[in-house]
Structure formats: C-alpha cells, structure tokens
C-alpha cells in the first residue's frame, strides 16, 4: 500500500532521501524494447539539479545501476530493477524536523502515519528525490511508447504571474526537441528570461514560488481508456498526485470550462484523410474517459517549495508548544522547474499501462 | 477493467441509460452499519432531476431496490446490490448518435472502443445517469463515515463568471444542513439568485454552461493515506474523474498555488487542545498524501453539457463525410448543479476505502 | 475485499441464499461476443439441482435476468449484470445455525467475521447457491474463449473409493459433448453406475461424501501466464478456492509428483506440424507458470456436504455451552456432483482474464 | 504483471539467476517492527544450498543488503528494498537451453512468452534462486506476525514413498525449534535417515525426486479472510503456486476428503476457556474462507527437479528438429528439501497481508 502503481505494468518505488539508495522495480514491461542508455541518462539529467536559479545547488549524479531485466541492451520481459545510490547527503540539515515539523511539508503527517519510526532525514520517502526513479521508469516507458508512435512533452506554463505560450494544436518535433534541451523549458524564450529574473528575486527574498506545467501526448490511437473508473484522466491524475507538491490536475480546457458555454467548449468533429479529428482541443484528447486520437493535453499545478529560509510558526510535537522554525539547507526556489520531465514520466507510465490493457481487447475485434 | 473502483471497499457499477436497469454492487462494506433508508433516498433525490432551471425536465424516480447485503436494517458484511429500473426512456431521441457523434460526447470514442457494439441509446454506460448508483454507494459510505465523525458537504462555487463564497475554515453543521436542502446549493443566496437568472438566459439561448463545485470533508483523523501512489489526492482524483464532464480536480489552494509564494502558501502549525492544527488551509487537509486532521478541501470543474440544441459540425462515421447535427431531447443546462451530491459521494467512497486501510495499520501501533 | 475477482475481466458476485436475489456483474468483458442464451441456460441447468441421487431435491430455476451489457444479442462492452431472483426458500430450516453453528460450515466464522450481522439463513453469502452466478459468468467466458479455440470440460474423477478414467492426452469433442449431457458426468459409465449406487447408500445413512473433479482446457496458445505470482496455476487455484468445499487443487500429475522421479515426471518435447508438443502431460499444460500449448489439466477435491442429518456435537455461541445439533433440510449427498460446471466456469473466467493480459503484450512483438 | 504480490502488503520480486542481482521491495509493511537481522539471516540460511545430499553443491551466500525502509533497527513504514548480489554463477552451464529447452523446465515457455529476449542463463527469472528474496520477505513478515502471536512452521512430509509424521493437533514450540535447526526438517528422525539414504541413491542414478511439504500456522485469531475470492485458501494457494515446481496445494484433510464421509470430515465444535475449538482439524483452520482460530494446516507438492543428468528427448527450437539433451551443472536432487522455509515464507506473506485487511474492519465493530 503506497508506492506501487499500475495494473499490467507495475512500478514499485523505494528509498529514503538519506538512506543507502533509492530505486524502482518495473514489472510487466514488454520484452524486446531497446534499452537506449543515452536517452535514459539524458532524461535523468533533465530532472537532476542544475545551475539554473530555480534549482537547488545540491549535486545528485543519479546514475542508475540496472540489476535485472535488461540483457544485451534489450529488455528481457522480467522485472527491471534500477538502483541509485545516495551520495552527497547532509542529514544534519534535516535533524529537527521530526520534532518541529516544517509547514507545508510531510514531516507532521509522516510522524502520525508511521508512529515516529519514519526516516525523517531529507524528507525520507516523501522527498522529491524519489522522482528520480519515477523519471527512470518514465524514460523506459517513453522508449516503448515511441515504438507505437507516441511522444510526450511538457513545459513550464506559469510561474507567479508569468505565462508561457500554450502548446499549439499540432506541435512539431522540433518544438519538442528544443524544449527538452532548455534548462528552463518554455516555448517563449522572452517569457523564460522574465521567469529567470523573477526567480532570482524570489531567491534573494529567501522565499519560493509555485508553478504550472503543461504536458502533451501525441500519436495515441483512439480507443484507449475505459469508463467509468479507468478513464485516461483517472489513471493519469492518480499518478500525477504522487509527485510531491502537485495540488491540481486538469485536462483540455481545465478549470476554464467552468465559465464556458457548451457551444464554445464542444469541439466540432471533421474528417481528414479517413481519420476523425476535432477543430479545437478543449476536450484534451479524451471523451468519455477514452482517447479520441487528438493529443492528450493536461495541466498540473505545483505549490511553492515548502522549505524556505524565512522564519515560520510551527509546533514542537514532543512538548506540544508553539515554536519558531528557521530552515537551513539547499532548496529549489521553484520545484515546478525540475518537475517537467517528472510530469512527462508519470504520463508515460500511465499511458503505457493503459495501452497494454487496450491492446488485450483489440485481439477480440 | 473499467467500472470497478476501490481496494478494500470495491464498488462495481453497471447499466446503460436506456437498458433494463442500472445499479451497483458494494463489496467489502463493513457489517453492522445501520441502513438509514430515509437518508439514502434523500441523497438520491438531491441528484435526481428537479424543477430547477439548471436541470433536465426528465423524471427519474431512481428508487433503488436492495437485493442483498442488508438484513433487518443493518448491513450484513456481504456485498450490497442495489438495482434501479430504467423507466421514462425515450430512445428515439438518441438514435442517430452512433452514426453522427455529438461533439464533446463519448459517442465517437465508444464506437471505437467497443467496435460499434456499444449501447448508444441515451449515452449508454457513459450517461450521467450512471451517477445515480454512485450516489447510492456514496450515501451508504457517508453513513459509515458518520460513525467515525466524518462529514462531507459540497456546493456550487462557480457558474460562468458568478462565484459563490468559499467554505469557511471551520464550517458549521447548520451550513451543511442548509446546503443539503437547497435546490441550487450555494452558500450566498444572492449569488444563487444571479446564477438562476443566468441559467434561464442560457436555456433560452439553447446553450449550456460549465461550473465548479467545492467539497469539504471534516472530522478525518490525521494519518490516513500513503505516499507515493496511494495519496489521498490520488485516490480522490481517480474517482472524481469517473464522473462524466469533470475536467479538473484540485486540492486546497489548487491552481492558485502556481502564483503563490512559499511564505504565503505554507500553513503555519499551532497547538490547540493537544491537537495540531494549521492557521490557514491552503494544503487542503493533506500533506505528503496523508491527512493532517484539517478539513479536506477540493474543487472540481465540470464542462458544459455537451448536448445542446444549437446546430453543430460533426461527421458521419459510416460515410466519412462532414455533416451538421441538431440535437433534440431534454438536457441539463448546467450539469454541475446536479453533480453536487455526486462529488460528495465519490469523496465518501474513496475516503471510507482509505480509512479501512489505515485502520489495518493502527493495530500494529 | 471479498467477492470481486479478476484483473482486466472483473466479476463481482452478490447475494445471500435467502435474500431477494443473487447475481453477478461482469466488468471488462469484450464487446461483440454473441450472447448465446440457449448455451448459457444449458450451463446453468447443469449446475442446478437435479433428480440425481447426489443432488438436493430443492428446486432452483435459476433463470438469470440480464440488466445490462447485452444488446441485440451481442455484448456491448459495458458491464453485464445478471440477477437471479431467490424463490423456494425455506428459511426456517436454517434458523438456529447462527446460534449453534454447523460443524464444517461457515456459520461460526461468519458470526465472528461479521460480528453477528451476517444473513445466516441458508448459509447466506457462503451458500453453494452463489455458484449459480459464477456459472453464468463462466458460461459467458466460455463463449468468448470458444472464439479463440479454447474448450473447457470437467468430470467426476472420484467419489469415495470409486475412480473414473482420467482424461486421455487428447480428448475428442464427442467426449466433451457426452460429458455435458450426463446427469452424473463420468467417462466410464460402469463406474458411474457404481457411484450412483454408492450415493444411494450414503443418503440412506443420512450421511454425505466428498469427491474429486478433473478438468481440462484445450486449445490454449503457448505463452499465457506470467511468473512469479501471476502463474496460470496461481490464478486458477485462487478462483477455485472460492468454490465452497474445495480443499485441494493440483495440476498435471498433482500430488503424485511427490513420489515421482525426474526421469519419469519430465515430459519429453517433440515437434509435430511445426508445433512443439510433449509426449506425456505430467506438467498439466503449464511450465514456469506459462501455458505450453498442451491441455491444462487440473484436479479439485471437494469435502463432503457439511449439512448431514446425523446428530453432531457443536456449541451454543450465546451460552458458551456444548450442545447437540440435528440438521433438517434438503441437502446434496455429494456436492462434487453439481460442482462440475462450476469448476469449468472458474477455470474459464480465470483463463479469459489471463488471455486478455497476454494479448496486450503480443502487440509489442 | 507477474512478480508483484499482495494487496495492502505488496512485494515486488526482481532478478535473474545470472544477472547482477536479485531482490525484493516490500511495500506497505508496518512501521516499528524490530528488524532482527540474526533471525532473518538464519531464515535465509535454511533456504541456501547446504551440505545435505538433497541440495545442490552450489554456494550462494545470499547476504541481503538493505537499501531502504529500515532505520536504527526498526522498520520505517517506507518500502523495504533488499538486494542480493549474484556471485558464483557459471552461465556456460546453461547456454544451450534457450535453443534446446529442458523438459519440465520453463525454457520453452519463456522463449514464447518473451519472444526470445528472456535471460535464459540459469533459468533467469524462473530460477529457484528467486525464492531467496521471497524468503527474506517471509522472514520479515514472520517478525510482524510474531508480535500478534502467529507462528509458522513446515517440514518434509513425503519424499518418494517415505512419509514423515504429520503435525500433531497442537504442536509445541520445541517441535518448531527442532525442525528449524535440522538440515532435513522432519518430525521423525528415523524417517529422515531413510530419506537421506534414498536421496543418495537417486543422486547416484543421476536422477531427481519430488516431495511434499506440510505447513502449519498457529495463533491466528478467528475471523481473518473473506468469501468468496479472498478466502484464506485462495490467497495462500495463489502465492504458493509462485514457488517453482509446486504442482499441488491442499488444506486440512486435503485430497483425502474425496473419500471421506461428512460424519467423519466434519470437525465437532466444543468450548474450552471461553474459546470455540474443534476436536479434529480436517478443515485445516479455515471454514467459509475465514480462519476458525484452529491452526491453519496445508500441504504442498513439489515435482522432481527437472534438470537431471540423464539423457532426455527435446526439440531444437531453431531448426524444429527433435534432438537429445544432456544436462551438465549442479542441481538439487530434491528441491522440496530446501523449499521448507520458502513455503513458510509464502504463507507468512499472505497471512500478514490478510491480517492487515481484517484489522481494518475490526475498527468498525
């Protein structure tokens, strides 16, 4: 109960931020998928701390060691286990938090849920570091999806009051490539420069800020997903809410639908080259929980990093008294920045799992 | 795959809008819970079409017949099956949609997913009518949750550009009671009157409009939920996305976090009567995927009813040609209005399931 | 938790023996399978009480009413719900058992598990009657499996000290047909006559007797099933142990392997018509948890009906005193006799579920 | 799909016999359980190859490295990952088996299931070596179960035609202790000596032999398990069939019930010290799928090691021609011998999972 996700494709993530190691077991992955190590490491690097102002200055090399499931550079069909050793941990930074929990963090709830036995160092199993194995698993799933023509890409859509452009109706490969290479992945570079300046300011103020990510998945066939509870949205939202700091998930026009008229929100169908498409994509690629063949489009809101250097009010769980907390350490100014490949990974894992299910039924057609 | 939800508590929903009947099997429900028929029927009635302008003029008595799992007015511990017979169906209204799919509706995706064998009448298994058995299951779960001190209540927060007040930090029982009795459940009656007038206008225009619902769950103990994939948010979002027309789900401050500073978003802890609380509730009652003991607060966006009387562009799936669709029938002007108890029900089902899991671990403390 | 089985194909069984009705929801069933009502009713009839001496003289017409998931005689892909009304119940026969539990029956454990709230009449949810909806679900699965060339057939292999012939290595269709039509399904009719005489004797003695069923599934492709925990044996055994009174399940040579040499037990491979086969079938069609393409062969032991007319020692759960129990009512002399189609059904459900999973991976080859 | 087991407690096993490492992730394990390393290593040693004649002469130190989930010698509640490095592998011994599959082994089915990409060296993921992480997980579960008063113990009941004594109705702690220390765990040492001599003979003949294990679990409260599909037997049988070579699983009187009369098989109830017990234990501690409070008693049949030194007939999968196979290497004469702690472990994992579920419902009493 907890860190296992999926139905046919199951991933089991383990590890605590300052323990010996973190990693993932990927069960039910198809055999015969080429294990492109270069691609996987480049994906891991996109998530790792960088020199960008939004990121923590911690160094996490995050080199996964593959223990099983890959032979001669192809997946074998057996569970794939990847382990990332923990290095460069400074546990003393985190010592007091099991006693004086950080506002906005899981310190308090972990101590209730695990009765004080949790590994509180570095956030333990609640650490954003656990998104490294998620990204590894996502990279592998992207390789399998690519064989079926599916591509997944995300970018920063919002930080504070600054907004990037949204994805066009039919994004190009070159847009995807350029986004993957940017240290701050935005479509509009002028906005990116503004965001960077804004983040510098936040850091100077010893504060943090939230952000929003937009993600697209292209190339999916129509017909994936099932009503009522295994809708594409249910399955994707379920795994996105595993990413620490996510507070909102929406599809297509998202929360804007609350003020839209049906005559505007409805996406008109039309035929092109024997294929049914929609003129607009307010539905975000899913109707009735099932893919339409249009790109899946979703948004995901991240709260500000809870760990900030400013003084904050909290309680001492041992004495039951109110107290003041001042947090040391090296934290991200805006976690949304590094979460871009993590969101893509979560979507990839979920979609591959659902495609495997859908394929099972195709055989009966 | 599809219409089964839950882990210890499992619900299996069946039925098609114009078939013989719809219903639900609730498996793993605790024994010995008093079956309060009056309460359950009042919950069903909240969801049923009403005389309010937002609602369809269809009549759906929705009287569930209990086939199993209840004896002498108490649950027996065996699966509870409730069947609602379908009456007052006018299938001819829906006849053409398997051929000329309605924009924004599941007609097209269903025909791909089920290879043309789906029951397309009235939306079939995709119909909003399937939320009736969901509401029945939710009402039962509310009865079990009430024994543990948990209450769940929702209201319309937004329609178009009109906004109701948000829930106060600690809502009263009388607020909950008054909301349950209103035909348009809003906190601020002046806003409610404006919404009603706005909906009249939309109806006159043969259009529909979206809306947003806010839901709160009070009385939950701290410590329910598990990282990474069985977070409270994952499990609640997963079931909310089973409700037709939901396009967004968020917790606490929701998408507003994207523009918030950490120093604002973080909810300071304090101690009161030996219990840890937070001054504000931007976190929405969940940190690290685990309940804090503060109310769970969430928002859910509904798109406009796709079925509108205006002309729309679509395709003929048989001929592959573009065509014009004009929809007859009796539809809701704003489905969010009737979805209030449905959202509550989805939250209730999910929370009872997670509480049963959490209780299993308490025994080891 | 309890009465839901399966992964992609999920069945949810409900009902209590003397409640209003029993039934099943079948979720994830492929669309477009012809609903052959004649076949399904003939399967239900094989399980229903008959005039044979082994059977109870109760009458249970067991006519399922289909509420959903079937339209124009084809499955729609939506959940299929079948309800069987309970008739001809004589609850007074069972009244005392919640207080003075029957030895060998679930009366005692149900009262502990459900804290006295269980419906004890007729065994409630533990009744063998619940195998009627299982048989309905199995019959539907057989129809889908038949489209893939898979056939499932079982017979009584043992009652007391009397043994029927075992299935030949490659059974014929005519063997299957003849078994399905017999009131006591045995291969060797001389043994069948002896069994009937033996059962007359048991009934005269107010006693009951156990039995063993052998089941075969032919036509499965090689490659279905997965190590370690989703082996074909794990999944089949799991559902067979849902049938009341099953105490043993074995595959291929079964418990005989404990005294076999490797040189005897190993089934030599050979090639025939470009297909790999084995000379013998001690492995029962499964190696490493995965089908070999040889018939799946299994055995299933049923204990004697616990309800017998002889006096038995039990306790009074209210007073805590030892007491004597004398059971009235109409019981099967040997439940194994009527369990033949139930075993087939359990195997069918499990295999269809696993085939759907296997098909999902084939798409990646 | 495959190597993940459990509901609240989930174990995910990974590794291939001659890959880099094998191991397990244990998710949902209660926090605060003392991690008794001495006990765990002693359990691992019971499974490891020994100097006994029944065992392979391979050396497998099997020292697990704990990467997560344990801190300061207590479980933290986060997933526990244990890795065992593979050493002393001689892959050349196994080279030809992906081309000329060993009779009775998974070589053939793996090549179909994974389309030739499987790691065939040493049996890959199908190797008996994968029972090492299962034993590690089982040892941990035994530690948690012991806190609830549950003990699990097994012994060799049969090898060839030689039978050990069965467990007494109420076994003593000293019997359990003595069995855990024996290199060939049997109750009757005279039989043990005969078995050892018989195994010497088999080895001299370059053959192997099957065996049967009997396992008991004492101290379980009444009320654990759920009809219909989550019976104690379903869940235990499901995991036992994950152990390579298991061909049969039975409970209580097992297959003997097929020839028993109801008046003999029914276990009479009586009261002793306010607790309900049965005079005999033919039911094996489970009625209606739910524990009675009597010991759970089960049997498990193992086929002979398929790898034998004698010549065998097989096919060449590349050429499609029949051929002769002669297997080199170091194999167990009777795998049942080393499987004793593995069976105990499987039972422990399954029972802890079901107890966690049962505890969740107790809170509602």
Q: Is C353 on the interface with B (CB under 8 A)?
A: no
A32, A33, A360 ranked by CB distance to C357: nearest:
A360
**Is C63:C86 a contact under the CB 8 Å cutoff?**
no
- Number of alpha carbons in the 13 Å side-chain half-sphere of residue D119: 29
Helix (H) or strand (E) holding A68: strand A65-68
Q: Count CA atoms closer than 13 A to D273's CA, side-chain side.
A: 0
Is A28 within 8 Å of C364 when comparing Cβ atoms?
no
Sheet strands (E) in chain C: 4-5, 10-15, 21-27, 65-68, 70-71, 74-75, 80-85, 151-159, 162-163, 211-218, 246-251, 269-272, 275-278, 286-287, 290-291, 296-302, 312-316, 321-325
Confidence band for D364, pLDDT divided at 50, 70 and 90: confident
In the structure, what pLDDT confidence band is assigned to residue D144 with cuts at 50, 70 and 90?
very high
Give the helix ranges, DSSP H, for A76-172: 107-113, 131-147
Number of H helices, E strands in chain B: 9, 18
| Contact (Cβ atoms closer than 8 angstroms) between residue D303 and residue C266 | no
Nearest chain A Cα distance for residue D222, angstroms: 24
Backbone phi, then psi, for C302, in 5-degree steps? Answer: -110, 135
CA-atom Rg of chain A in angstroms: 21
Q: How would DSSP label each residue in C238-282?
A: HHHTTSTTEEEEEETTGGGGGG-BHHHHS--EEEETTEEEESS-T
Q: How far is CA D73 from CA C151, D66, D141, in A?
A: 54, 11, 15
Instruction: Please state, in angstroms and rounded to a whole number, the distance separating the CA atoms of residues B162 and B190.
Output: 11
**How many C-beta atoms surround the C-beta of residue A36 within 10 A?**
16
User: What's the token pair of residue A288?
Assistant: 């009735």
pLDDT tens digit string along B106-133?
999 999 999 999 998 889 999 999 999 9
Q: Give CA–CA dist D83/A67, Å, rounded.
A: 9
Interface check A149 vs C, CB under 8 A: no
Q: Does residue A98 register a pLDDT over 90? A: no
pLDDT > 90 fraction of chain A, expressed in percent and rounded: 85
How much is the pLDDT for D327? 87
Q: What is the mean pLDDT of chain D?
A: 94
Chains contacting B with at least 3 CB pairs below 8 Å? A, C, D
DSSP B124-157: GGGSGGGHHHHHHHHHHHHHHHHHTT-EEEEEEE
Q: Is the backbone peptide bond immediately before C228 cis, with ω within 30 degrees of 0?
A: yes
Q: Which of A8, A77, A117 sits opposite D76 (nearest CB)?
A: A117
Q: What is the pLDDT of residue B91?
A: 58
pLDDT 10s digits, B49-77:
887 777 777 666 778 999 999 999 999 99
Band the pLDDT of D90: cuts 50, 70, 90: low
* Residues C304 and C334 sit within 8 Å (Cβ to Cβ): yes
Picking from D131, B286, A230, D230, the residue whose alpha carbon sits closest to that of residue C13 is D230
Neighbours of A97 (CB within 10 A): 24
What backbone torsions phi and psi does residue D355 show, to the nearest 5 degrees? -70, -40
**CB C262 within 8 Å of CB D84:** no
> How many Å lie between the alpha carbon of C66 and the closest alpha carbon of chain D?
22
Q: Is B44 on the interface with C (CB under 8 A)?
A: no
Q: Report the DSSP beta bridge partners of residue D213.
A: D156, D300
Element (H, E) at D121: none
Which residues, in sequence order, are CB contacts of A175 under 8 Å at separation 6+?
A: A153, A168, A187
Q: Above 80 in pLDDT, residue C308?
A: yes
Q: Is residue C365 less than 8 Å (CB to CB) from chain A? A: yes
Could you tell me which residues are beta bridge partners of residue C70?
A: C75
What pLDDT band is residue C36 in, cutting at 50, 70 and 90? very high
Q: What is the pLDDT of residues C48-63, one digit of tens each?
A: 888 777 777 766 677 8
b/e per residue C14-41 (b: at least 16 CB within 10 A): bbbbbbbbbbbbbbbbbbbbebbeeebb
Interface of D with C in 209-268 (CB under 8 A): 209-212, 222-223, 225-231, 233-235, 237-239, 241-242, 244, 246-255, 257-263, 265-268
pLDDT in tens, C257-278: 999 999 999 999 999 988 999 9
The predicted pLDDT at position A197 comes to: 97
Nearest CA to B282 out of B150, B151, B169 is that of: B169
pTM of this prediction?
Answer: 0.97
In this prediction, residue D62 carries a pLDDT of 78
User: pLDDT tens for residues B300-323?
Assistant: 999 999 999 999 999 999 999 999
* Confidence check: pLDDT of A177 > 60: yes
Query: Do residues A250 and B255 make contact, with C-beta atoms less than 8 angstroms apart?
Result: yes
Instruction: Please tell me if residue A28 touches chain C, with a CB cutoff of 8 Å.
Output: yes
ipTM of the complex: 0.96
Mean pLDDT confidence for B209-235: 97
Omega within 30 of 0 (cis) for the link into B20: no
Query: Nearest residue of C to residue A226 by CA position?
Result: C28
C186 with C195: CB under 8 angstroms? yes
Q: Would you call A357 and B202 a contact, using CB atoms and an 8 Å cutoff?
A: no
A201 CB within 8 Å of a chain C CB: no
CA distance D11 to D242: 12
| Residue of A77, A134, A353 to mutate, testing the D interface (most D Cβ within 10 Å of its Cβ) | A77
Closest-CA distance, D140 to chain B, in angstroms, reads 14
Chains that touch D (3 or more CB pairs under 8 A): A, B, C
Mean pLDDT of A341-360: 96
Whether the CB-CB separation of D291 and D223 falls below 8 Å is answered with yes
Average pLDDT over residues C148-163: 97
Would you place residue D24 in the very low, low, confident or very high pLDDT band (cuts 50, 70, 90)?
very high
What are the φ/ψ torsions at residue C169 (nearest 5 degrees)? -60, -40
- Per-residue pLDDT, B60: 65
Helix and strand numbers, DSSP H then E, in chain C: 8, 18
Distance in Å, alpha carbon of D229 to nearest chain C alpha carbon: 5
Chain B residues close to C147, C-beta within 8 Å: none
The answer to whether D347 and D251 have CB atoms below 8 angstroms apart is no
- Measured between beta carbons, the chain B residues lying within 8 angstroms of D144 are 364
CB B360 within 8 A of CB D360: yes
Report d(CA D5, CA A131) in Å as an integer.
23
Calpha distance A332→D209 (Å, rounded): 62
Site of tokens 């479509």: A187
Q: What is the pLDDT of residue C269?
A: 97
Among B130, B254, B289, the residue with its CB nearest the CB of A228 is B130
Three-class SS state of B173: helix
D12 shares contact with chain A (CB less than 8 Å):
yes
Structure tokens at B29: 């429900």
At residue B238 the predicted structure's pLDDT band, cuts being 50, 70 and 90, is very high
Average pLDDT over residues B150-171: 97
Q: What is the DSSP letter of D171?
A: -
Where do runs of H (alpha helix) occur along A246-286? 262-265
Is a pLDDT exceeding 80 seen at residue D70? yes
Q: Is the pLDDT of residue D186 over 90?
A: yes
CA distances from B97 to A278, B66, B215, B307, C56 (A): 16, 33, 34, 11, 51
For B336, residues 6+ apart whose C-beta sits below 8 A from its C-beta are A258, B54, B156, B159, B210, B211, B212, B213, B245, B302
Chain B positions in Cβ-Cβ contact with residue C8 (cut-off 8 Å): 1
Chain B residues close to D365, C-beta within 8 Å: 32
Determine the number of helices (DSSP H) and then strands (DSSP E) in chain D: 8, 18
Half-sphere exposure of D76 (CA within 13 A, CB side): 28
Q: What per-residue confidence (pLDDT) applies to D232?
A: 98
Contact A346, A242 (CB under 8 A): yes
Q: Do residue A255 and residue B257 have CB atoms under 8 angstroms apart?
A: no
For chain A, positions 109-128, list CB contacts with chain B under 8 A: 109-110, 112-113, 115, 125-126
| Percentage of the residues of chain C whose pLDDT score is greater than 70 | 96
For residue A228, say if its preceding peptide bond is cis, omega within 30 degrees of 0.
yes
Contacts of B8 in chain C (CB under 8 A): 1
Confidence of residue A1 (pLDDT cuts 50, 70, 90): low
The single-letter DSSP state of residue C350 is: H
| Helical H segments across D223-365, by residue range | 232-240, 262-265, 335-362
In this predicted structure, the answer to whether residue A324 has a pLDDT above a threshold of 70 is yes
C-alpha neighbours within 13 Å on the C-beta side of residue B226: 28
Give the helix/strand (H/E) hosting A156.
strand A151-159
Query: Who's near A327: CB < 8 A, 6+ residues apart?
Result: A102, A307, A308, A309, A312
Which residue do the tokens 């107290």 mark?
A323
Per DSSP, what are the bridge partners of residue A313?
A: A324
């Amino acid at each position: 109960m907890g860190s296992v996700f999926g139905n046919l494709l199951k991933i089991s993530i383990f590890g605590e931020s300052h323990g010996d190691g973190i990693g993932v077991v990927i069960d039910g992955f198809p055999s015969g998928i080429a294990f492109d190590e270069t691609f996987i490491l480049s994906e891991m690097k996109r998530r790792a701390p960088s020199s960008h102002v939004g990121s923590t200055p911690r160094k996490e090399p995050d080199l996964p060691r593959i223990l099983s499931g890959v032979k001669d550079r192809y997946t074998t069909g057996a569970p794939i286990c990847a382990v990332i050793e923990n290095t460069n941990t400074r546990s003393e930074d985190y010592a007091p938090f099991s006693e004086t929990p950080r506002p906005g963090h899981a310190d308090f709830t972990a101590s209730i849920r695990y009765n004080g036995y949790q590994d509180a160092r570095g956030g333990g199993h609640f650490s954003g570091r656990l998104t490294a194995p998620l990204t590894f698993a996502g990279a592998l799933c992207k390789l399998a999806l690519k064989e079926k023509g599916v591509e997944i890409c995300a970018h920063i859509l919002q930080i504070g009051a600054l907004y990037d452009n949204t994805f066009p109706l039919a994004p190009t490969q070159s847009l995807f490539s350029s986004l993957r290479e940017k240290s701050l992945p935005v479509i509009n570079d002028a906005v990116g420069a503004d965001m960077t300046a804004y983040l510098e300011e936040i850091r100077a103020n010893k504060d943090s800020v939230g952000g929003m990510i937009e993600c697209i998945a292209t190339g999916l066939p129509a017909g994936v997903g099932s009503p009522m509870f295994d809708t594409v949205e249910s399955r994707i939202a379920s795994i996105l809410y595993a990413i620490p700091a996510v507070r909102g998930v929406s599809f297509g026009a998202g929360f804007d639908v609350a003020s839209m008229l049906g005559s505007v929100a409805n996406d008109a169908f039309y035929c092109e080259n024997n294929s049914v498409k929609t003129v607009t994509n307010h539905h975000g690629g899913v109707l009735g929980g099932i893919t339409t063949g249009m790109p899946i489009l979703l948004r995901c809101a991240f709260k500000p990093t809870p760990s900030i250097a400013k003084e904050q009010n909290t309680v001492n769980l041992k004495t039951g008294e109110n107290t003041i907390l001042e947090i040391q350490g090296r934290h991200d100014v805006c976690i949304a920045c590094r979460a871009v490949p993590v969101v893509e990974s979560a979507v990839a894992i979920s979609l591959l799992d659902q495609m495997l299910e859908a394929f099972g039924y195709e055989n009966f057609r």
